[in-house]
Chain A
Amino acid sequence: MSTARVLVGTRKGAFVLTSDGKRQEWDISGPHFAGWEIYHIKGSPADPNRLYASQASGWFGQLIQRSNDGGKTWEPVGNKFVYDGVPGTHQWYDGTPHPWEFKRVWHLEPSLTDPDTIYAGVEDAGLFRSNDGGQNWHELSGLRGHGSGPRWQPGAGGMCLHTILLDPANPNRIFVAISAAGAFRSDDSGQTWQPINRGLHSAFLPDPKAEVGHCVHRIAMHRSRPEVLYMQKHWDVMRTDDAGENWQEVSGNLPTDFGFPIDVHAHEPETIYVVPIKSDSEHYPPEGKLRVYRSRTGGNEWEPLTNGLPQNNCYVNVLRDAMAVDSLDSCGIYFGTTGGQVYASADSGDTWSAIVRDLPAVLSVEVQTLP
């Protein structure tokens, strides 16, 4: 029987949760890297026992850890992230120029085909790649060098490159998203980039329809239709059917269209999930009710999923990288909260339960479906 392995990054360490295909009983190991911020852990699709973790500390900076045995043991690999050339400046919060400074790795995206190739999205926003299992990192500087960098600015969490999507049908195509710059696409393996933000509207910009500057929180793709992307923006849930050339709002009947994560059902490319959050300054669920919203129509028509989730006095947040889906026959949905719970549904979101409680604040959740 297939099993599920959930990789949880928290403010104070990493946890690995495993279960059989029923996903009722969970074994928990951790904390790994106790006391360190683990922004993200992800396994290689080409070798599920190869895991990478982003480990960081305000005292001691950035480390990258690698496991070859599914998270039982780890070894530190390369942590030298140096921007290519003269980094230049981006906008600071007050609109003044501010030099690019590396702060941390937000997201690690292993290649779909090679366990030793991995991409890293970093703050201040940039994209790095390693071709030797994380030992050495090189910036794909065409992204920062695209020309719009001086107009990028930090969101409340910093100016981070948080989403990296590799097109399973086109090995040369990569999508990334940056807060607050927007979404970008490369069709030449990351050498050159174009902003893909037509249709986005952001009231905090002098020109709300500007080419760049949008605070994209997350984008998601179903591997069977890589030209269709879903986006949770600072406000608004969006969709594109042409690889980002044009976006349409699909917030529909959501109680609020602010939020952070968005994800797609493993077997139903028109079924998507978001967690509405009250507002940009009130990062908790509306009415104190933790509700995942599901659309089975690719957006616009949404239904609340509440069975098993707290429906009163709940004021946690769900961060952008803290939702994932497994690919078991009955698709499992997972998300972690800033209150330290990881909730799971083994039935596409109909019913939920906490598979672990009282962890440190959850920064990221990934899940691997193992044979």
Chain B
Amino acid sequence: MIRIVLPAHLRTLARVNAEVHLEVEGPVTQRSVLDALEASYPMLRGTLRDHVTQTRRPFVRFFACEQDFSHELPDAPLPEAVASGAEPFLVVGAIAGGRRP
């Protein structure tokens, strides 16, 4: 089981109150986690990554185990602690506030 913590605005959009728990088939990577998240919550499509290119939106960050995975390749394995559910995968809105300088 994968645990995902969404930022407040996306919890409201997805109508969830707390962590999202998902099962992921195969290797646990950013891509497989986000694919599973969007499959369960289709209203999140386009909010975390571009519809077409699937690249991460610039003001969205991915953290886990006190590390920043935002710039890792989407198919790179996430830590075992995320894959086992011991640690959550955190989706975080950048502190910059969503506006390009």
Contacts and interface: CB of A to CB of B under 8 A. Distances in A.
A36 B47 CA distance: 13
Interface in A67-109: 76, 79-80, 82
Contacts of A60: 9-10, 13, 47-48, 57, 60, 93
A61 B9 contact: no
Given A63-B47, A76-B43, A58 B59 contact: yes
Interface string A43-66: 000000000000001111111000
B45 interface: yes
A339 interface: no
Contact of A80 (B9, B13, B45, B48): B45
A74 to B, nearest CB: 10
Given A80-B45, A80-B51, A82-B52, A61 B13 contact: no
A76 B13 contact: yes
A79 B46 contact: yes
B51 A59 contact: no
Contact of B45 (A35, A59, A79): A79
A63 B98 contact: no
A80 B38 CA distance: 14
A112 to B, nearest CB: 29
Contacts of B13: 60, 63, 76
A58 B94 CA distance: 10
B6 to A, nearest CB: 10
Given A60-B48, A63-B13, A82-B51, 10 more contacts: A36-B9, A57-B98, A58-B97, A59-B60, A61-B47, A63-B46, A63-B47, A79-B51, A80-B46, A80-B51
